[in-house]
Amino acid sequence: METKILVAYASSYGSTQEIAEEITKVLRSQDLEVDLQLMRQVNTLDGYFAVVLGAPLYMFHWHKDALHFLARHQNALARKPVAIFAGGPFGSGDGNEWQEVRSQLDKELVKFPWLRPVAVEIVGGRFDPAKLRFPYSLIPALRQMPASDLRDWEAIRSWANDLVSLLRVQNNNHQLELA
């Protein structure tokens, strides 16, 4: 029986990993059975009733591991509830930044018309110019940006808590369909 939830994430600098860990903690605290894995290490979605996918935006695109994951697991994902979170924005977080990040993500998700996420959340990003690696370390505009951490942990925990009831309802419907 498919009763477990998979939280699969991509993270280049670790901040999305920390968010995936926190979401996993919240789901487990509500007695859900959850596996946490790097997206690129996931071979199969067998055994999972639902999937929570998280990855940051880089240069206006969703992390390439997330795009590959969606393409690779299309058949399985099209039949399961999928919740999505994305890292960004970075910088000041002022004005329309959060809305712009949502638009960036939406532009990526429309490339997968079969995907019908049950929830989508922009979770904020963490940025440290001192840690930039090649080739980003060569971009002066990035090097001059201040360090920031726009992750809102209360909002992240609250989103994860909302997922608990959402996924429980989906799971009950799923079990009824199977019965």
Ligand X SMILES: Cc1cc2nc3c(=O)[nH]c(=O)nc-3n(C[C@H](O)[C@H](O)[C@H](O)COP(=O)(O)O)c2cc1C
Q: Which residues bind ligand X (CB under 6 A)?
A: 11-16, 56-60, 87-90, 101, 104, 125-127, 136, 142
- Closest to 58 in 3D by CA, of 117, 146, 132, 118: 132
What are the Cα distances from residue 67, in Å, to 2, 58, 118? 24, 12, 18
CB nearer to ligand X: give 119 or 142: 142
Q: What's the min distance (Å) between Cβ of 37 and ligand X?
A: 15
For 99, the enclosing helix (H) or strand (E) is: helix 97-109
Q: Which residue is nearest to ligand X (CB)?
A: 88
Number of residues in the chain: 179
Q: What's the min distance (Å) between Cβ of 55 and ligand X?
A: 8
CB nearer to ligand X: give 9 or 49: 9
Tell me whether residue 56 is exposed, middle or buried, using C-beta atoms within 10 angstroms of its C-beta: 0 to 12, 13 to 18, 19 or more: buried
Q: What's the min distance (Å) between Cβ of 54 and ligand X?
A: 9
CB nearer to ligand X: give 16 or 24: 16
